[in-house]
Amino acid sequence: MYLHTGLFFLLSSTFSSESSVPYPVTCVTRGADLMEDGGGVVVLCPPHCTRWRVSVFGTGVYASVSSICGAALHSGILGPSGGTVRIHRLHGQHNYISSYAHGIQSQALSHWTASFNLTKPVNVPLELTSETGTTALPAQPDCQMDIAMVIDSSNNIGQRRFNLQKNFVAKLTAMLRVGQTGPHIGLVQASDSPRTEFLLTNYTQPKELLFAIKELAFLGGNTNTGKAIMHTAETFFTQENGGRRGHPRVMMVLIDGWPSDDLEQAAMLARESGINVFLVSVAKPAPEELAMVRDKDFMKKAVCKDNGFFSYLIPSWFSTTKHVKPLTQRLCSLDGLLCSAVQFTYDQRLEFGLFDHSNKDDTINALRRISYMSGGTATGAAISYTTQNLFRRTGPGRNFLIVVTDGQSYDDVQIPAEAAQKQGMCVCVCVCVCVCVCVCVCVCVCVCVKTERE
Protein backbone atom coordinates (compact mmCIF):
# COMPACT_ATOMS: atom_id res chain seq x y z
CA MET A 1 0.00 0.00 0.00
CA TYR A 2 1.37 3.37 -0.98
CA LEU A 3 1.24 6.62 0.93
CA HIS A 4 -2.08 8.43 0.41
CA THR A 5 -1.92 12.14 1.07
CA GLY A 6 -4.61 14.81 0.63
CA LEU A 7 -3.23 18.29 0.02
CA PHE A 8 -5.00 21.58 -0.45
CA PHE A 9 -3.74 24.99 -1.44
CA LEU A 10 -5.21 28.38 -0.60
CA LEU A 11 -4.12 31.80 -1.83
CA SER A 12 -2.42 33.74 0.93
CA SER A 13 -3.46 37.32 1.64
CA THR A 14 -0.52 38.18 3.91
CA PHE A 15 1.64 40.91 2.47
CA SER A 16 5.14 42.06 3.26
CA SER A 17 6.03 45.46 4.66
CA GLU A 18 6.49 48.51 2.50
CA SER A 19 9.70 48.96 0.55
CA SER A 20 11.19 52.32 -0.44
CA VAL A 21 11.24 51.51 -4.12
CA PRO A 22 11.92 54.59 -6.29
CA TYR A 23 9.32 55.70 -8.83
CA PRO A 24 10.75 56.22 -12.33
CA VAL A 25 10.09 59.72 -13.69
CA THR A 26 11.07 61.60 -16.81
CA CYS A 27 13.25 64.67 -17.04
CA VAL A 28 10.19 66.91 -17.31
CA THR A 29 8.05 65.35 -14.53
CA ARG A 30 6.98 68.18 -12.24
CA GLY A 31 6.70 68.16 -8.48
CA ALA A 32 2.96 68.81 -8.87
CA ASP A 33 2.62 65.49 -10.68
CA LEU A 34 3.56 63.64 -7.48
CA MET A 35 1.87 65.85 -4.91
CA GLU A 36 -0.89 63.27 -4.50
CA ASP A 37 1.65 61.03 -2.77
CA GLY A 38 2.46 63.50 0.00
CA GLY A 39 6.02 63.99 1.17
CA GLY A 40 9.01 61.70 1.24
CA VAL A 41 8.56 60.11 -2.18
CA VAL A 42 11.76 58.68 -3.71
CA VAL A 43 11.96 59.13 -7.48
CA LEU A 44 14.37 57.81 -10.08
CA CYS A 45 15.68 60.39 -12.57
CA PRO A 46 17.09 59.18 -15.90
CA PRO A 47 20.52 60.25 -17.14
CA HIS A 48 21.21 63.20 -19.47
CA CYS A 49 18.46 65.54 -18.22
CA THR A 50 20.88 68.42 -18.89
CA ARG A 51 20.10 67.89 -22.58
CA TRP A 52 16.44 68.74 -22.00
CA ARG A 53 14.87 72.18 -21.59
CA VAL A 54 13.74 71.70 -18.00
CA SER A 55 11.73 74.39 -16.20
CA VAL A 56 12.94 75.15 -12.68
CA PHE A 57 11.51 77.90 -10.46
CA GLY A 58 13.35 78.86 -7.27
CA THR A 59 16.56 78.07 -5.42
CA GLY A 60 16.71 75.45 -2.65
CA VAL A 61 12.94 75.55 -2.35
CA TYR A 62 11.23 75.06 -5.72
CA ALA A 63 7.72 75.82 -6.94
CA SER A 64 5.76 72.61 -7.56
CA VAL A 65 5.58 73.36 -11.29
CA SER A 66 9.34 72.81 -11.48
CA SER A 67 10.92 69.74 -13.03
CA ILE A 68 11.97 67.40 -10.21
CA CYS A 69 15.06 66.16 -12.01
CA GLY A 70 15.91 69.69 -13.17
CA ALA A 71 15.70 70.92 -9.56
CA ALA A 72 17.87 67.98 -8.43
CA LEU A 73 20.52 69.00 -10.99
CA HIS A 74 20.26 72.67 -10.02
CA SER A 75 20.67 71.88 -6.31
CA GLY A 76 23.67 69.62 -6.99
CA ILE A 77 22.05 66.54 -5.44
CA LEU A 78 22.25 64.73 -8.79
CA GLY A 79 24.75 64.88 -11.62
CA PRO A 80 24.22 64.33 -15.36
CA SER A 81 24.12 60.54 -14.87
CA GLY A 82 20.80 60.73 -12.97
CA GLY A 83 19.85 58.70 -9.93
CA THR A 84 17.47 58.73 -6.99
CA VAL A 85 16.26 61.75 -5.04
CA ARG A 86 13.67 62.23 -2.30
CA ILE A 87 11.03 64.93 -2.81
CA HIS A 88 9.47 66.67 0.22
CA ARG A 89 6.21 68.57 -0.12
CA LEU A 90 6.14 72.12 1.27
CA HIS A 91 3.62 74.95 1.42
CA GLY A 92 3.49 77.56 -1.29
CA GLN A 93 5.43 80.79 -0.86
CA HIS A 94 6.15 84.19 -2.36
CA ASN A 95 9.26 85.27 -4.26
CA TYR A 96 10.97 82.15 -5.61
CA ILE A 97 14.55 83.29 -6.35
CA SER A 98 16.28 82.66 -9.66
CA SER A 99 19.90 81.50 -9.86
CA TYR A 100 22.36 79.63 -12.08
CA ALA A 101 23.96 76.48 -10.66
CA HIS A 102 25.42 73.23 -12.00
CA GLY A 103 24.51 74.09 -15.57
CA ILE A 104 20.84 74.83 -14.84
CA GLN A 105 19.27 78.30 -14.87
CA SER A 106 16.30 78.56 -12.51
CA GLN A 107 13.68 81.24 -12.92
CA ALA A 108 12.02 83.65 -10.52
CA LEU A 109 8.34 83.34 -9.64
CA SER A 110 6.33 85.80 -7.58
CA HIS A 111 3.98 83.25 -6.00
CA TRP A 112 2.90 79.61 -6.22
CA THR A 113 0.47 77.46 -4.22
CA ALA A 114 2.81 74.56 -3.37
CA SER A 115 6.55 73.92 -3.15
CA PHE A 116 9.07 71.14 -2.65
CA ASN A 117 12.67 70.61 -1.70
CA LEU A 118 14.95 67.65 -2.30
CA THR A 119 17.35 65.44 -0.36
CA LYS A 120 19.54 62.50 -1.25
CA PRO A 121 17.99 59.22 0.01
CA VAL A 122 19.91 57.08 2.48
CA ASN A 123 20.59 53.48 1.38
CA VAL A 124 19.66 54.13 -2.22
CA PRO A 125 18.11 50.92 -3.60
CA LEU A 126 18.36 51.70 -7.32
CA GLU A 127 20.51 54.13 -9.22
CA LEU A 128 20.89 54.75 -12.92
CA THR A 129 24.29 55.86 -14.15
CA SER A 130 25.67 56.01 -17.64
CA GLU A 131 29.05 54.73 -16.46
CA THR A 132 28.14 51.86 -14.18
CA GLY A 133 24.71 50.78 -15.42
CA THR A 134 22.16 49.71 -12.84
CA THR A 135 22.67 48.69 -9.25
CA ALA A 136 19.55 46.55 -8.99
CA LEU A 137 17.23 46.02 -6.11
CA PRO A 138 17.59 42.47 -4.83
CA ALA A 139 15.06 40.24 -6.54
CA GLN A 140 12.03 39.41 -4.43
CA PRO A 141 12.51 35.76 -3.41
CA ASP A 142 8.77 35.35 -2.79
CA CYS A 143 7.71 36.73 -6.18
CA GLN A 144 9.46 34.40 -8.61
CA MET A 145 6.88 34.44 -11.36
CA ASP A 146 6.54 35.16 -15.07
CA ILE A 147 4.30 38.17 -15.68
CA ALA A 148 2.82 39.24 -19.01
CA MET A 149 1.49 42.80 -18.95
CA VAL A 150 -1.23 43.54 -21.51
CA ILE A 151 -1.69 47.30 -21.78
CA ASP A 152 -4.31 49.44 -23.52
CA SER A 153 -3.08 51.22 -26.64
CA SER A 154 -6.43 52.07 -28.23
CA ASN A 155 -8.04 55.32 -29.28
CA ASN A 156 -10.17 54.96 -26.16
CA ILE A 157 -7.21 55.72 -23.89
CA GLY A 158 -5.58 58.37 -26.09
CA GLN A 159 -1.99 59.59 -26.12
CA ARG A 160 -2.05 61.51 -22.82
CA ARG A 161 -3.52 58.70 -20.70
CA PHE A 162 -1.31 56.21 -22.54
CA ASN A 163 1.71 58.08 -21.19
CA LEU A 164 0.23 57.97 -17.68
CA GLN A 165 -0.30 54.23 -18.14
CA LYS A 166 3.37 53.78 -19.11
CA ASN A 167 4.43 55.62 -15.97
CA PHE A 168 2.17 53.40 -13.86
CA VAL A 169 3.58 50.22 -15.44
CA ALA A 170 7.12 51.49 -14.87
CA LYS A 171 6.37 52.00 -11.17
CA LEU A 172 4.92 48.51 -10.91
CA THR A 173 7.98 46.93 -12.50
CA ALA A 174 10.28 48.91 -10.21
CA MET A 175 8.45 47.66 -7.13
CA LEU A 176 8.36 44.08 -8.41
CA ARG A 177 12.19 44.10 -8.53
CA VAL A 178 12.78 42.31 -11.78
CA GLY A 179 15.93 40.19 -11.88
CA GLN A 180 17.45 36.93 -13.06
CA THR A 181 16.19 35.10 -9.95
CA GLY A 182 13.12 37.25 -9.38
CA PRO A 183 10.07 38.03 -11.50
CA HIS A 184 10.39 38.29 -15.30
CA ILE A 185 8.15 40.69 -17.20
CA GLY A 186 7.06 40.87 -20.83
CA LEU A 187 4.60 43.24 -22.47
CA VAL A 188 1.88 43.15 -25.14
CA GLN A 189 -0.07 46.14 -26.47
CA ALA A 190 -3.80 45.72 -27.14
CA SER A 191 -5.16 47.58 -30.17
CA ASP A 192 -6.84 46.42 -33.41
CA SER A 193 -4.32 43.58 -33.35
CA PRO A 194 -2.07 42.64 -30.41
CA ARG A 195 1.59 43.54 -30.64
CA THR A 196 4.29 41.87 -28.54
CA GLU A 197 6.73 44.57 -27.47
CA PHE A 198 9.15 42.40 -25.52
CA LEU A 199 9.26 38.87 -24.12
CA LEU A 200 9.89 37.65 -20.59
CA THR A 201 13.66 37.30 -20.97
CA ASN A 202 14.35 40.34 -23.17
CA TYR A 203 14.92 42.63 -20.18
CA THR A 204 15.92 41.12 -16.84
CA GLN A 205 17.75 44.20 -15.56
CA PRO A 206 15.71 47.10 -14.10
CA LYS A 207 17.35 49.87 -16.11
CA GLU A 208 16.80 48.24 -19.50
CA LEU A 209 13.23 47.30 -18.63
CA LEU A 210 12.28 50.79 -17.46
CA PHE A 211 13.63 52.42 -20.59
CA ALA A 212 11.96 49.81 -22.82
CA ILE A 213 8.65 50.82 -21.22
CA LYS A 214 9.48 54.50 -21.68
CA GLU A 215 10.05 53.96 -25.43
CA LEU A 216 6.67 52.28 -26.07
CA ALA A 217 4.80 53.95 -28.92
CA PHE A 218 1.05 54.61 -28.88
CA LEU A 219 -0.82 52.52 -31.48
CA GLY A 220 -4.45 53.70 -31.55
CA GLY A 221 -7.33 51.63 -32.93
CA ASN A 222 -9.98 49.54 -31.16
CA THR A 223 -9.68 48.07 -27.66
CA ASN A 224 -9.48 44.42 -28.74
CA THR A 225 -8.34 43.22 -25.33
CA GLY A 226 -9.84 39.75 -25.76
CA LYS A 227 -7.75 39.22 -28.87
CA ALA A 228 -4.66 40.38 -26.95
CA ILE A 229 -5.40 37.98 -24.06
CA MET A 230 -5.79 35.10 -26.50
CA HIS A 231 -2.53 36.00 -28.27
CA THR A 232 -0.67 36.24 -24.95
CA ALA A 233 -2.07 32.96 -23.59
CA GLU A 234 -1.18 31.04 -26.77
CA THR A 235 2.32 32.36 -27.38
CA PHE A 236 3.83 34.19 -24.44
CA PHE A 237 4.67 31.60 -21.79
CA THR A 238 6.31 28.93 -23.95
CA GLN A 239 9.86 27.91 -23.06
CA GLU A 240 10.98 29.16 -26.48
CA ASN A 241 9.73 32.64 -25.52
CA GLY A 242 11.31 32.64 -22.05
CA GLY A 243 8.69 30.92 -19.90
CA ARG A 244 10.29 29.19 -16.91
CA ARG A 245 9.18 25.76 -15.77
CA GLY A 246 7.80 25.66 -12.24
CA HIS A 247 7.18 29.42 -12.05
CA PRO A 248 3.65 30.82 -11.61
CA ARG A 249 2.33 32.43 -14.79
CA VAL A 250 0.45 35.72 -14.46
CA MET A 251 -1.24 37.94 -17.01
CA MET A 252 -2.05 41.47 -15.83
CA VAL A 253 -4.48 43.21 -18.20
CA LEU A 254 -4.97 46.99 -18.13
CA ILE A 255 -8.17 48.39 -19.66
CA ASP A 256 -9.15 52.04 -20.01
CA GLY A 257 -12.93 52.21 -19.78
CA TRP A 258 -14.20 49.10 -21.59
CA PRO A 259 -13.08 46.61 -24.26
CA SER A 260 -14.30 46.50 -27.86
CA ASP A 261 -14.43 42.69 -28.03
CA ASP A 262 -15.39 39.73 -25.83
CA LEU A 263 -13.06 38.83 -22.94
CA GLU A 264 -14.80 35.80 -21.43
CA GLN A 265 -13.67 33.08 -23.84
CA ALA A 266 -10.12 34.42 -24.13
CA ALA A 267 -9.71 34.69 -20.35
CA MET A 268 -11.16 31.19 -19.91
CA LEU A 269 -8.56 29.82 -22.34
CA ALA A 270 -5.82 31.59 -20.37
CA ARG A 271 -7.01 30.18 -17.04
CA GLU A 272 -7.36 26.69 -18.47
CA SER A 273 -3.76 27.02 -19.65
CA GLY A 274 -2.67 27.60 -16.04
CA ILE A 275 -2.38 31.40 -16.28
CA ASN A 276 -3.69 33.63 -13.48
CA VAL A 277 -5.50 36.53 -15.16
CA PHE A 278 -5.63 39.87 -13.32
CA LEU A 279 -7.89 42.53 -14.81
CA VAL A 280 -7.16 46.15 -13.87
CA SER A 281 -9.90 48.53 -15.00
CA VAL A 282 -9.12 52.25 -14.95
CA ALA A 283 -11.72 55.01 -15.31
CA LYS A 284 -14.95 53.01 -15.54
CA PRO A 285 -17.55 54.19 -18.07
CA ALA A 286 -19.57 57.28 -17.18
CA PRO A 287 -23.39 56.85 -17.05
CA GLU A 288 -23.77 58.50 -20.45
CA GLU A 289 -21.20 56.09 -21.92
CA LEU A 290 -22.84 52.85 -20.73
CA ALA A 291 -24.87 52.53 -23.93
CA MET A 292 -21.60 52.08 -25.85
CA VAL A 293 -20.34 49.27 -23.60
CA ARG A 294 -20.74 45.91 -25.32
CA ASP A 295 -20.90 43.88 -22.09
CA LYS A 296 -21.39 45.72 -18.80
CA ASP A 297 -20.31 42.62 -16.84
CA PHE A 298 -17.06 42.12 -18.74
CA MET A 299 -14.96 42.22 -15.56
CA LYS A 300 -17.03 39.55 -13.78
CA LYS A 301 -16.84 37.26 -16.81
CA ALA A 302 -13.15 37.77 -17.54
CA VAL A 303 -11.63 36.73 -14.21
CA CYS A 304 -11.81 33.83 -11.79
CA LYS A 305 -14.56 35.15 -9.54
CA ASP A 306 -12.90 34.65 -6.15
CA ASN A 307 -14.25 37.51 -4.03
CA GLY A 308 -12.78 40.13 -6.35
CA PHE A 309 -9.21 38.97 -5.85
CA PHE A 310 -8.37 38.92 -9.56
CA SER A 311 -10.04 42.23 -10.48
CA TYR A 312 -8.87 45.66 -9.47
CA LEU A 313 -10.54 49.06 -10.00
CA ILE A 314 -8.70 52.37 -10.25
CA PRO A 315 -10.90 55.47 -10.62
CA SER A 316 -8.53 57.57 -12.73
CA TRP A 317 -5.17 57.49 -14.49
CA PHE A 318 -4.28 60.56 -12.43
CA SER A 319 -4.47 58.62 -9.15
CA THR A 320 -2.60 55.41 -9.99
CA THR A 321 0.49 55.94 -7.82
CA LYS A 322 -1.22 55.01 -4.56
CA HIS A 323 -2.36 51.73 -6.15
CA VAL A 324 1.14 50.53 -7.08
CA LYS A 325 1.91 48.86 -3.77
CA PRO A 326 -1.42 47.05 -3.17
CA LEU A 327 -1.51 45.76 -6.75
CA THR A 328 2.11 44.57 -6.51
CA GLN A 329 1.28 42.80 -3.26
CA ARG A 330 -1.71 41.11 -4.82
CA LEU A 331 0.35 39.91 -7.78
CA CYS A 332 3.12 38.55 -5.58
CA SER A 333 0.72 36.89 -3.15
CA LEU A 334 0.09 34.24 -5.81
CA ASP A 335 3.47 32.79 -4.89
CA GLY A 336 2.35 32.50 -1.25
CA LEU A 337 0.08 29.46 -1.32
CA LEU A 338 -0.73 27.67 1.92
CA CYS A 339 -0.69 23.89 2.27
CA SER A 340 -2.03 21.23 4.59
CA ALA A 341 -1.56 17.43 4.44
CA VAL A 342 -3.79 14.55 5.50
CA GLN A 343 -2.69 10.90 5.33
CA PHE A 344 -5.37 8.24 5.15
CA THR A 345 -6.04 4.52 5.25
CA TYR A 346 -9.42 3.53 6.72
CA ASP A 347 -8.70 6.33 9.18
CA GLN A 348 -7.41 9.84 8.60
CA ARG A 349 -4.47 11.61 10.23
CA LEU A 350 -3.80 15.35 9.95
CA GLU A 351 -0.06 15.64 9.35
CA PHE A 352 0.07 19.47 9.44
CA GLY A 353 -2.41 22.30 9.22
CA LEU A 354 -2.87 25.21 6.86
CA PHE A 355 -0.93 27.71 8.96
CA ASP A 356 1.72 25.39 10.39
CA HIS A 357 4.33 26.21 7.72
CA SER A 358 4.74 29.65 6.17
CA ASN A 359 7.13 28.86 3.30
CA LYS A 360 7.71 26.24 0.64
CA ASP A 361 10.90 24.75 2.09
CA ASP A 362 9.31 24.11 5.50
CA THR A 363 6.28 22.54 3.81
CA ILE A 364 8.42 20.22 1.68
CA ASN A 365 10.47 19.18 4.72
CA ALA A 366 7.26 18.45 6.63
CA LEU A 367 6.03 16.26 3.78
CA ARG A 368 9.30 14.33 3.81
CA ARG A 369 8.95 13.65 7.53
CA ILE A 370 5.55 11.96 7.20
CA SER A 371 5.70 8.36 8.46
CA TYR A 372 3.85 5.56 6.69
CA MET A 373 0.40 4.43 7.87
CA SER A 374 -0.59 0.88 7.01
CA GLY A 375 -4.13 -0.30 6.38
CA GLY A 376 -6.88 -0.28 3.77
CA THR A 377 -7.85 2.54 1.43
CA ALA A 378 -10.98 4.63 2.10
CA THR A 379 -10.52 7.58 -0.26
CA GLY A 380 -14.13 8.78 -0.05
CA ALA A 381 -13.99 9.04 3.74
CA ALA A 382 -10.70 10.95 3.48
CA ILE A 383 -12.23 13.47 1.06
CA SER A 384 -15.19 13.98 3.41
CA TYR A 385 -12.86 14.41 6.41
CA THR A 386 -10.76 17.02 4.59
CA THR A 387 -13.79 18.88 3.24
CA GLN A 388 -15.49 19.10 6.62
CA ASN A 389 -12.46 19.86 8.78
CA LEU A 390 -9.97 21.82 6.70
CA PHE A 391 -11.97 23.98 4.30
CA ARG A 392 -14.16 25.89 6.70
CA ARG A 393 -12.17 29.11 6.32
CA THR A 394 -12.84 31.11 3.21
CA GLY A 395 -10.10 33.17 1.63
CA PRO A 396 -9.54 35.37 -1.40
CA GLY A 397 -8.60 32.43 -3.61
CA ARG A 398 -9.90 29.04 -4.68
CA ASN A 399 -9.42 25.90 -2.57
CA PHE A 400 -7.70 22.87 -4.12
CA LEU A 401 -8.02 19.32 -2.82
CA ILE A 402 -5.33 17.07 -4.34
CA VAL A 403 -5.78 13.37 -3.62
CA VAL A 404 -2.82 11.04 -4.24
CA THR A 405 -3.77 7.36 -4.31
CA ASP A 406 -3.05 4.02 -6.00
CA GLY A 407 -6.57 4.08 -7.42
CA GLN A 408 -8.12 1.27 -5.33
CA SER A 409 -10.69 2.48 -2.80
CA TYR A 410 -12.97 0.34 -0.62
CA ASP A 411 -15.63 3.05 -0.33
CA ASP A 412 -17.53 5.40 -2.65
CA VAL A 413 -15.51 8.36 -3.94
CA GLN A 414 -17.95 10.04 -6.31
CA ILE A 415 -20.45 11.42 -3.77
CA PRO A 416 -17.78 12.98 -1.44
CA ALA A 417 -15.96 14.44 -4.48
CA GLU A 418 -19.16 16.00 -5.84
CA ALA A 419 -19.93 17.45 -2.40
CA ALA A 420 -16.47 19.04 -2.31
CA GLN A 421 -16.98 20.50 -5.79
CA LYS A 422 -20.33 22.02 -4.73
CA GLN A 423 -18.46 23.85 -1.98
CA GLY A 424 -16.33 25.51 -4.66
CA MET A 425 -13.24 23.29 -4.44
CA CYS A 426 -11.12 22.09 -7.31
CA VAL A 427 -10.75 18.35 -6.72
CA CYS A 428 -7.70 16.75 -8.32
CA VAL A 429 -7.25 12.97 -8.14
CA CYS A 430 -3.78 11.64 -8.90
CA VAL A 431 -3.50 7.87 -9.43
CA CYS A 432 0.10 6.72 -9.00
CA VAL A 433 1.77 3.42 -9.86
CA CYS A 434 5.26 2.83 -8.49
CA VAL A 435 7.44 0.52 -10.56
CA CYS A 436 10.23 0.54 -7.97
CA VAL A 437 11.13 2.34 -4.75
CA CYS A 438 12.25 5.54 -6.46
CA VAL A 439 10.15 5.63 -9.66
CA CYS A 440 6.39 6.35 -9.68
CA VAL A 441 4.13 7.33 -12.57
CA CYS A 442 1.09 9.51 -11.73
CA VAL A 443 -1.91 10.55 -13.82
CA CYS A 444 -3.96 13.46 -12.44
CA VAL A 445 -7.45 14.68 -13.32
CA CYS A 446 -8.84 17.94 -11.90
CA VAL A 447 -12.48 19.10 -11.88
CA CYS A 448 -13.46 22.65 -10.86
CA VAL A 449 -17.12 23.69 -10.65
CA LYS A 450 -18.24 27.29 -10.19
CA THR A 451 -20.50 27.89 -7.22
CA GLU A 452 -23.38 30.35 -6.94
CA ARG A 453 -21.28 32.74 -4.85
CA GLU A 454 -18.79 32.97 -7.71
> Do 42 and 419 contact (CB within 8 A), yes or no?
no
Per-residue pLDDT in tens (0 to 9) along the chain, 454 residues: 333 333 333 322 233 333 345 677 788 888 887 755 445 788 888 888 888 888 999 999 999 999 999 999 999 999 988 888 999 989 999 999 999 999 899 999 999 989 999 998 864 433 333 232 333 344 454 577 899 999 999 988 889 899 999 999 998 888 888 877 788 999 999 999 999 999 998 988 888 898 899 899 999 998 899 899 999 988 888 888 888 877 888 899 998 888 888 888 888 888 777 788 888 989 877 676 667 777 777 777 777 654 466 788 898 888 888 888 888 888 877 545 567 888 888 888 888 876 676 566 777 888 888 888 888 888 889 888 888 877 654 444 457 888 888 877 888 888 888 888 787 777 888 877 776 656 677 777 777 655 433 4
SS3 labels along 227-293:
HHHHHHHHHCCCHHHCCCCCCCEEEEEEEECCCCCCCHHHHHHHHHCCEEEEEEEECCCCHHHHHHC
**E-assigned strand segments in 21-140:** 23-24, 41-45, 58-59, 61-63, 83-96, 100-101, 104-105, 109-119, 127-129, 133-135
- 39-52 in b/e form (b: 16+ CB < 10 A) is eebbbbbbbebeee
Among residues 206, 160, 213, the alpha carbon closest in space to that of 183 is found at 206
Q: pLDDT tens across 16-75, in order?
A: 333 345 677 788 888 887 755 445 788 888 888 888 888 999 999 999 999 999 999 999
> Do 351 and 390 contact (CB within 8 A), yes or no?
no
